Amino acid sequence: MNKRMSVNRRFIFIYIRQLLFVGMLLLTLILTVLFVAFDKLNKLEQERDFAKSGLPMLMNSLSEKDGKITFDPELLDQVREQGGWLQLINERNQVIADFETPDDLPSQYNPGELTSYWTRERPFPYGLYVWIQERKGNLYTLIYGVNNPIAQMKRTLLQSVELKNGKIQITGSLAAQISQLSGWVQVINAEGLEIASYHKPADGPSQYAVHDIILRTQYPERYASQLESVFDPATGNTWLVHLPIQNDASGAPQDPYLAMIYVFVISLCILLGIIIILLAIIALWYGHRFGTPILHMIDWLKHLAQGRFMEPVDRKGYARSMNRSGRMKRRFQTYAEMIDSLHYLTESLQKNELIRKQLETTREEWIAGVSHDLKTPLSSIMGYAHVLESNAYEWRQEEIQEFACIIREKSFHMDEMIDDLNLTYRLNNHAVPMQKVEIEMNEFIGKMVLQMQQHPQHEQRQIQFVPAAQPIYYPVDVKYFRRILENLLANAQLHNPPDTHIQVMMAIEEDGAFRIEIQDKGLGMDEATVDRLFERYYRGTPTENLHQGTGLGMAIARQLVHEHDGHIEVESQVGVGTTISLLFRQSTCFQEMKVQLS
């Protein structure tokens, strides 16, 4: 035992060490791929929106040497590619450094001047972005500007457009500028409906709500178009200027998110490819090192599936997991628990096969008995039918009725045996539909016992019913639950003398379950009969001793009890009597509980 534990510890240590190595390697690969991917995404973000991602990096790259301020050359190249410009302002509002600055920009700003430009309170021909940061004790303001033609159009829009006869007329240089930039103009009324348009594309909207204008102004990337609006208080109309976002070389609008998705997908594919290759190598090694015992166990299971209930052997006839001395081989000791389980399973299957063969023998004997039982009434039916058919004697009407009655009784007995056989197979395959309804069990069983007492066949039998102290409600299929009690009571009557006292009692258990007990003070049964009482092909009394019964009644009763979520037990002693108990635990509900809930 200690040796096995030592092997398991070593095996666990090997696995942990190898998994840690693989984990560290995978973590390194993941971090490397993520670093490269994020670096690429950061560059794409700079290209998409340099103002948000590039300005902090520009400020962090600021350096001063010999009174000259410089920035990262690669970032400055991106500023040039974006068509922008830079100004760096110190705490005294002076421009101390610039890059690609247009001539119309001031070299010094008044305290509120830059703010008015940035908030668009005053017209400004450029889009402005500001980043403020402290560097080495000095507070700097970095201004990034880009050419904003739509803002210039907005300033002169009302002076350059006119609405006549439902058409927009544009004068001055605005018309040429709109045409050059593939822009278009709309005028909408107070309800947001288009009155007229100029160079409007076919897919352009003709109606706007307040939120439409706000969203198109604040998030132009969503609509691939910039929008500026000018309200004309004289007419109550609103003028809209649209400019498409810069197109790429193919003429299609740029979608910055597609490039990011592409980088993400490529990075993920590379990462997954590396992981798959690495795992494949590890799997091959593990398969070579630890797979032999597993393959042996799989082969063993195949043997069991094919009905060969023994461990596979090698060429010399020895079990593959054992050496010649009968001890488990070293490489199989890691899987000792599984090997032991397979040994136990093999032994169990061997025993089950023996039981199956015994069951086949018992079933054949039972079939022979049932055939005998069927042949006896069938012979009577054939005999009386032959007698009635014969012209050798003229039968009286009373004799014909007597023969017919015998034929009917024999036919009914045969039909009953066939029905029992059919029902037991349907129950065994769970093919009997249950139509359960909740009933009060004391009343139901009491009526049934009373009916049996009043039946002429049982009028000499002593059957007593003792109900429970409280009402018991339980969902049952009335037809099949009646069959349970009929089979059990019939068994108690058929196998005991006529004067045997039979008692049916109901009782409520402490845990909320209820019990039905059928007691008789009859002959009782020995232990062997009790053990086989519910077998489908067993009949404790020889067939020639009874004119009724198929040997299936008790098996059917047990299966029907299980279908009602119950459990059946038998206690018997020769010369003392028999007690059969039915216990039902699920879905019970008493009347007092119902009253409380209601």
Q: Which whole number is the average pLDDT over 275-303?
A: 81
Over residues 30-45, the pLDDT tens digits come to: 888 888 877 777 666 6
Interhelix angle 397-428/553-563, rounded to 10 degrees, is: 50
Q: Binning pLDDT at 50, 70 and 90, where does residue 572 land?
A: very high
Q: What is the CATH number of the domain that holds 505?
A: 3.30.565.10
Q: Structure tokens of 122? A: 């005053």
In the chain, the number of structural domains is 4
**Is there a single domain that holds both residue 407 and residue 553?**
no
Please check whether residue 282 lies inside any domain of the structure: no
> If DSSP codes are grouped into helix, strand and coil, which group holds residue 589?
strand
Residue 537: predicted pLDDT: 55
Please check whether residue 578 lies inside any domain of the structure: yes
Residue 246: predicted pLDDT: 60
pLDDT above 70 for 267? yes
Give the angle 438-447-485 at the CA atoms, nearest 5°.
Answer: 75
CA 9 – CA 577 distance, rounded (Å): 59
**Is there a single domain that holds both residue 559 and residue 577?**
yes
**Is there a single domain that holds both residue 468 and residue 507?**
yes
Please check whether residue 543 lies inside any domain of the structure: yes
**Is there a single domain that holds both residue 127 and residue 160?**
no
**Is there a single domain that holds both residue 88 and residue 222?**
no
Residue 255: predicted pLDDT: 55
- Asked whether the beta carbons of 310 and 268 are under 8 A apart, the reply is no
**Is there a single domain that holds both residue 480 and residue 566?**
yes
Q: What is the CATH number of the domain that holds 127?
A: 3.30.450
Radius of gyration of the chain (CA): 48
Residue 593: predicted pLDDT: 43
Q: Which whole number is the average pLDDT over 528-544?
A: 66
- Of 147, 170, 199, the residue at which a domain comes to its end is 147
**Is there a single domain that holds both residue 58 and residue 130?**
yes
Q: Binning pLDDT at 50, 70 and 90, where does residue 540 land?
A: low
pLDDT above 90 for 474? yes
**Is there a single domain that holds both residue 583 and residue 450?**
yes
Residue 473 burial (CB count, 10 A)? 17
- Of 223, 238, 254, the residue at which a domain comes to its end is 254
- Of 229, 254, 279, the residue at which a domain comes to its end is 254
Residue-averaged pLDDT of the chain: 79
pLDDT above 60 for 93? yes
pLDDT above 70 for 250? no
Please check whether residue 263 lies inside any domain of the structure: no
3-state helix, strand, coil in the chain (%, to 5): 50, 20, 25
Percent of the chain with pLDDT over 90: 11
Residue 49: predicted pLDDT: 61
**Is there a single domain that holds both residue 464 and residue 584?**
yes
Please check whether residue 336 lies inside any domain of the structure: no
Q: Which whole number is the average pLDDT over 124-150?
A: 79
Q: Which whole number is the average pLDDT over 335-344?
A: 83
**Is there a single domain that holds both residue 178 and residue 239?**
yes
Residue 293: predicted pLDDT: 83
Strands 462-466 and 501-508, by their bridges, are parallel
Compute CA distances 260 → 30, 39, 82, 330, whole Å: 18, 11, 18, 54
- Better-predicted residue by pLDDT, 386 or 348: 348
**Is there a single domain that holds both residue 439 and residue 521?**
yes
Q: Which whole number is the average pLDDT over 484-505?
A: 88
Please check whether residue 492 lies inside any domain of the structure: yes
pLDDT above 50 for 595? no
pLDDT above 80 for 215? yes
Give me the sign of the Cα torsion angle 301, 307, 311, 317: negative
What domain range includes position 579?
Answer: 433-597
Q: Binning pLDDT at 50, 70 and 90, where does residue 438 land?
A: very high
**Is there a single domain that holds both residue 142 and residue 197?**
no
Least confident of 88-92, 115-119, 179-183, 234-238: 115-119
Residue 476 CB partners (closer than 8 Å, separation 6+): 436, 437, 439, 441, 444, 564
pLDDT above 70 for 588? no
Q: What is the CATH number of the domain that holds 384?
A: 1.10.287.130
Please check whether residue 60 lies inside any domain of the structure: yes
Please check whether residue 299 lies inside any domain of the structure: no
Please provide the DSSP assignment of 96-115 as one string.
EEEES--TTS-SB--TTHHH
- Better-predicted residue by pLDDT, 392 or 31: 31
